[in-house]
């Protein structure tokens, strides 16, 4: 799973230096968006969305428009990727008409094939394996809230899913101390955890995997959770509700975090399942700032790949 520099596929494919440069660029864009308004003048971005989206769609559409370009959305109703037409043929058509592709799909291999076949930049807008634009926005938000990333203690409580994988990759690159707590049977991908173990030392990162949510949250600066049932897994929802019950982020659990902890969630949230209203609506919650930062960090990514 390697990323050619033309694409943005996974955080682990990029150096810490590259990723920090993107965060710094996002800070500049956020401070003075007007300065960037013609940087992608006339450039077009196709958004292939095979799953629902609010934040990813809106932030990419608005983001490219704010940079002087424009977007078009392609859903299964239009292209039926891999059914009406192969991934390769879609790539070969799009590369002649647009300047970049953002894709949200199921299997990560579909994204890799798109990136391999298309001569234009391909950006991962979420696969079953990872969600790198989300984690970039997350670490930008943590740095804003806590002033730094190195040594910051992040507790991720929940499913070892796409969001967890990207948080792990980012923790390793940014020197974060990440503790994941998951129910038995819902661990992050073993290969991802192994990779983290081999690479964490370079940045001073620590990645711990627990089954006890209290152990993960103890003294955390950041408490993060995600839905128990990700898009495409709806058939498992009832089984997951039972398996995850002890992993709800509620007042009891966050009482183990630092007094100045912040609560984060990639959203959408299933209130009353993975998080209670009293936590997500508390003054500790920075979930909407986190969502806004998708816009700024993705503009930095678009500029890095398409300008
Ligand atoms: N967090 C996130 O990617 O949201 P959407 O699924 O609404 O795009
Ligand atoms: N893990 C969630 C993230 C949504 C942004 C999902 O894949 O549905």
Looking at the CA of residue 226, tell me the nearest atom of ligand 2.
1
Residue 153 bears catalytic tag: no
Could you name the CATH architecture of 11-130+293-306? 3-Layer(aba) Sandwich (3.40)
Of 276, 294, 296, 298, the catalytic one is 294
Q: Is the CB of 66 under 6 A from ligand 1?
A: no
Residue 194 bears catalytic tag: no
pLDDT at 113: 97
Nearest CA to ligand 1 atom 4: 55
Identical fold, 11-130+293-306 and 132-290: yes
Residue range 175-216, pLDDT digits in tens: 999 999 999 999 999 999 999 999 999 999 999 999 999 999
Q: Could you state, in order of their start, the residue ranges of all structural domains in the chain?
A: 11-130+293-306, 132-290
Secondary structure of the chain as H, E, C letters: CCCCCCCECCHHHCCHHHHHHHHHHHHHHHHCHHHHCCCCCCCEEEEEECCCCCHHHHHHHHHHHHCCCEEEEECCCCCCECCCECHHHHHHHHCCCCCEEEEECCCHHHHHHHHHHCCCCEEECCCCCCCHHHHHHHHHHHHHHHCCCCCCEEEEECCCCHHHHHHHHHHHHHCCEEEEECCCCCCCCHHHHHHHHHHHHHHCCEEEEECCHHHHHCCCCEEEECCCCCCCCHHHHHHHHHHHHHHCECHHHHCCCCCCCEEEECCCCCECCCECHHHHCCCCECHHHHHHHHHHHHHHHHHHHHC
Residue range 109-118, pLDDT digits in tens: 999 999 999 9
In this structure, which topology does domain 132-290 adopt according to CATH?
Answer: Rossmann fold (3.40.50)
* pLDDT beyond 80 at 269: yes
Nearest CA to ligand 1 atom 6: 53
pLDDT at 205: 98
Mean pLDDT within 218-235: 98
Q: What's the 198 CA to ligand 1 centre distance in angstroms? A: 30
Q: What is the pTM of this model?
A: 0.97
Could you tell which of 264, 267, 287 is best to mutate to test the pocket of ligand 1, judged by most ligand atoms within 8 Å of the CB? 267
* pLDDT beyond 90 at 60: yes
Residue 134 bears catalytic tag: yes
Residue range 128-167, pLDDT digits in tens: 999 999 999 999 999 999 999 999 999 999 999 999 999 9
């Amino acid at each position: 799973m390697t990323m050619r520099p033309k694409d943005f596929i996974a955080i682990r494919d990029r150096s810490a230096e590259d990723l920090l440069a993107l965060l710094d660029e996002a800070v500049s864009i956020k401070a003075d968006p007007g300065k960037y308004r013609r940087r992608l003048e006339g450039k077009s971005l196709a958004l292939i969305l095979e799953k629902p989206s609010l934040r990813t769609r809106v932030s990419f559409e608005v983001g490219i428009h704010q940079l002087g370009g424009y977007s078009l959305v392609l859903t299964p109703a239009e292209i039926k990727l891999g059914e009406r037409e192969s991934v390769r043929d879609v790539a070969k058509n799009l590369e002649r008409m647009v300047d970049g592709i953002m894709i949200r799909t199921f299997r990560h291999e579909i994204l890799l094939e798109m990136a391999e076949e298309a001569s234009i930049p391909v950006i991962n807008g979420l696969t079953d394996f990872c969600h790198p634009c989300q984690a970039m926005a997350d670490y930008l938000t943590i740095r804003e809230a806590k002033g730094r990333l190195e040594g910051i203690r992040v507790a991720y409580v929940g499913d070892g899913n796409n969001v967890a994988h990207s948080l792990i990759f980012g923790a390793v690159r940014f020197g974060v101390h990440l503790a994941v707590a998951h129910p038995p049977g819902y661990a992050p991908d073993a290969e991802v955890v192994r990779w983290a173990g081999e690479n964490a030392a370079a940045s001073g990162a620590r990645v711990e995997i627990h089954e006890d949510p209290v152990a993960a949250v103890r003294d955390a600066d950041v408490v993060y959770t995600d839905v128990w049932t990700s898009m495409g897994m709806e058939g498992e929802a009832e089984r997951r509700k039972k398996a995850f019950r002890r992993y709800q982020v509620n007042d009891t659990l966050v009482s183990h975090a630092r007094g100045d902890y912040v609560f984060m969630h990639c959203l959408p949230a299933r209130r009353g399942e993975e998080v209670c209203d009293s936590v997500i609506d508390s003054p500790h919650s920075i979930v909407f700032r986190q969502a806004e930062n998708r816009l700024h960090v993705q503009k930095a990514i678009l500029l890095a790949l398409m300008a």
